[in-house]
Amino acid sequence: MNIDISEEAGVRYLHFGSSWIQGAMRIARPYALELDYTREMMTPLLLHEPDWPRRVLQIGLGAASVTKFLWRYRPHARITVVEIEPRVTAAARQFFKLPDDDRITIHHADGADFLVAAKHDYDLILVDGFDADARTGRLDTLPFYLDCRARLAEDGLLSVNLLSRRKDFRQSVKRLEGAFDGHAMAFSSCDSGNAIALAANPPAPCATLAELKGAATQLKRDTGLNLQPTLTRLAQSRHLAGGLFAL
C-alpha cells in the first residue's frame, strides 16, 4: 500500500495510493475536524457531560483528525488507537501533527483481533478503518459489532464510519442493529458518501432536541465544532420522533 500526501488550498490530505481521501488537516487549524464525516463522528459528545469520554478506543488512525480533536478538547480522555499499518502512524506524526503524549497509546495490530483480546471497557469506540480499495474486511461484520458491544462501558457509545455508496450499506446498518438489539441508527450520507452510524447498549442515552441544541451550542463554544447541521439532519429522521432522540 502506497501512502501519499497532497496539499490544496491550505488543506493537507492523506491518500493510500489513489485519489481517495483517507484523512485531511487544514494546516492553519491542525486540531479542527476538516471533513464532514469526522465532525459527525463526534455526535456522541452531545449526549454526555463535557468530562466524557474518559476512555476511548479508536480503530483506524488515518490522518489522526479525531485523535487530535479529542486529545485537545477532552483533556480527561485516554485514547487507545489501533492502526494496522505502522507507516500510517509515521505519516500522521510527520505530516499531520499527531502528538507524542502518554494520553495516546498506539497499537499496530488488526482492529478486530485487538477487540477480541481487549480487557478494558471503553466509553467511546470509534471505527474508521478502510484499505486502499475502501474495503473494511472484518470491521463490518456481526461478530465484530458484537465484540464492540461487549467492550462498551455501561453508558458507552459506538460511532462507525460507513460508506453509503457501497451496495451493502443497508446491510451494515442491519448488522449493527442486530448486534445492539435495535439500539443503532445511521445518518443519511454526507456529500463525500460517508455515513456515520451510532449504537449503544440498552438503556441507550436519550435527549430532547432542545437538550441536543444546547449541548451543540456549548460544544461549539468550547471547541469550535459545529454540529448544528447534524442536528438538522437528525431532526428529519425517525430517531427524533416526538422531539426525543433515542437509539
Strand boundaries in 64-151, DSSP class E:
78-82, 104-107, 122-127
Residue positions annotated with a catalytic role: 128
Closest to 197 in 3D by CA, of 123, 116, 111, 125 = 125
SS3 assignment, position 126: strand
Rounded CA gap, 85 and 132, in Å? 12
Number of H helices, E strands in the chain: 8, 12
The DSSP code for 128 is -
SS3 assignment, position 1: coil
Rounded CA gap, 173 and 156, in Å? 18
Q: Which three cell numbers stand for residue 76?
A: 480527561
